[in-house]
Amino acid sequence: MGQKILYLECNSGISGDMTVGALLDLGADRSFLEESLKALRLDGFRTEIHRAAKCGLDACKFDVILTDGEGETHHHEHHSHGHTHGEEGHRHPGHVHRTLQDILEMLHEADLDERVRTLAEKIFYILAKAEGKVHGKAPEQVHFHEVGAVDSIVDIVGAAACLVSLGVTEAAVSTLREGCGTVLCQHGEMPVPVPAVAELAAQHGLPLELTETKGEMITPTGAAIAAAVRTREALPKQFRILGCGYGAGCKDFAHANVLRAMLVEEEEEAGETSLWMLETNVDDCSGEQLGLLEERLLGLGARDVWFCPIYMKKCRPAYMLQVLCTADVLEKAQDLLFEESTTIGVRFYPVERRVLERRIERIETSVGELRFKICARSGETAVYPEYEDIREICRKTGKSYREIYETAKRDAGQKLAAGRKKESRS
């Protein structure tokens, strides 16, 4: 079995509130989300999480309600801020503005999980870079209207907290479907998709599809989140769905205005024994550059990627990069090695492998229900608890990884053995 992958299906576009709602519905830890938002020490809002029906489909609705001295205002469809577009009824020109640096400092000062902070900073920078290009400014010079910035901060930190809670490291994003027509903003009428969304799509290669639905379905915040989390261009050919979540938007269309988030696990094709190995030696690539290359190779569909420390001529320390992939990925992987590394040559050759029969099962143990990889050979069975499930139980209980792992493996082994005995008797 392969890795766990998040799939965002954007048939009705994507926005910040829809993303948070979909991830909560998928199983993200609500208390972790609320703790992350509370750590911001940000005033002027409160959140509500409830169920909503969209064309008969039950979905999770994440609402941000903006508060000020004049009362409360619902935050509609989470447009990122007043400088671009959106339903401006609740925005007040008298409020102060925040720069990107102001927001980054707020995130730095907050008592946030480091992974949440890092991802939120990445999303905000992606958003500011696109806004800066649209308005002819450097990202650091982009101003976020105060009320709009509250929206953006809550959406982005909320989405980051949910993604961290789910243990997501790989994500695929479908084509983003967008409406048509125009929307009103501070600067007048803007075409759909609005300039910031178009720029985000251009900068990050997000695929768009324009539809005949009147109105806007993709917000800059939603597009920035999609750009930040997307690590692969498509889902694997075969996969098992581990869970689905639906996040409701504010608007009502003829179609269900929801974002679907699926957690899937890659499955190897039956009988796949012949693969290709690519190798190259590099001595002038940074660790960060190699890390990005690994992410992109896995995103292409490589079966595995790894590095081995070596010494080249004149005892230069270097790395040998090896990529295991199927024939249909071979040429793309070669192109990516030349594009993303400093190599000037790549070796490749076919390899044979033997794969054990395997399956994934959910088994209830004394420490909770976990997913196990079950491998069989010559009548012998081995069980291996899934890392992310062990990690989540450790986080919730405070117990050590080793304790949870050994208990879960022992309990699962006993249950499987009892099941086999029962089958043999019958």
Of 7-21, 174-188, 293-307, least confident by mean pLDDT is 174-188
Same domain, 109 and 31: yes
**Which residue among 327, 352, 377 closes a domain?**
352
pLDDT at 355 > cutoff 60: yes
SS3 for the chain is CCCEEEEEECECEECHHHHHHHHHHHCCCHHHHHHHHHCCCCCCEEEEEEEEEECCEEEEEEEEEEEECCEEEECCCCCCCCCCCCCHHHCCCCCCEEEHHHHHHHHHHCCCCHHHHHHHHHHHHHHHHHHHHHHCCCHHHCEEEHHHHHHHHHHHHHHHHHHHHHCCCCEEECCEEEEECEEEECCEEEECCCHHHHHHHHHHCCCEEEEEEECCCECHHHHHHHHHHCCECCCCCCEEEEEEEEEECCCCCCCCCEEEEEEEEECCCCCCCEEEEEEEEECCCCHHHHHHHHHHHHHHCCCEEEEEEEECHHHCEEEEEEEEECHHHHHHHHHHHHHHCCCCCCEEEEEECCCCEEEEEEEEECCEEEEEEEEEECCEEEEEECHHHHHHHHHHHCCCHHHHHHHHHHHHHHHHHHHHHHHHHC
The reported pLDDT for the residue numbered 352 is 86
Instruction: Print the domain residue range for 420.
Output: 357-425
Same domain, 208 and 226: yes
Of 137-151, 181-195, 277-291, 411-425, least confident by mean pLDDT is 137-151
Closest CA to 401 of 413, 410, 392: 392
- pTM of the predicted structure, to 2 decimals: 0.67
Higher-pLDDT residue of 426, 213? 213
**Which residue among 306, 325, 352 closes a domain?**
352
Closest CA to 258 of 80, 33, 58, 6: 58
Same domain, 39 and 161: yes
The reported pLDDT for the residue numbered 273 is 63
Round the average pLDDT of the chain to a whole number and report it: 87
Band of pLDDT at residue 269, cut at 50, 70 and 90: low
Per-residue pLDDT reduced to its tens digit, 406-421: 999 999 999 888 877 7
Same domain, 216 and 155: yes
Per-residue pLDDT reduced to its tens digit, 219-246: 999 999 999 999 888 888 788 899 999 9
**Which residue among 213, 244, 266 closes a domain?**
266
Band of pLDDT at residue 89, cut at 50, 70 and 90: very low
Per-residue pLDDT reduced to its tens digit, 359-403: 888 899 999 989 898 888 777 888 999 998 899 899 889 999 999
Band of pLDDT at residue 77, cut at 50, 70 and 90: very low
Distance, in Å, from the CA atom of 406 to the CA atom of 414, rounded to the nearest integer, reads: 12
CATH of the domain at 410: 3.10.20
Number of domains in the chain: 3
The torsion angle over the Cα atoms of residues 155, 159, 165 and 167, rounded to 10 degrees, is: -170
Band of pLDDT at residue 78, cut at 50, 70 and 90: very low
pLDDT at 1 > cutoff 70: no
The reported pLDDT for the residue numbered 398 is 92
Per-residue pLDDT reduced to its tens digit, 318-348: 999 999 998 888 999 999 999 999 999 999 9
Same domain, 195 and 141: yes
The torsion angle over the Cα atoms of residues 330, 334, 337 and 343, rounded to 10 degrees, is: 140
pLDDT at 299 > cutoff 90: no
pLDDT, mean of residues 46-60:
95
Q: What percent of the chain lies above the pLDDT cut of 90?
A: 61
Same domain, 192 and 330: no
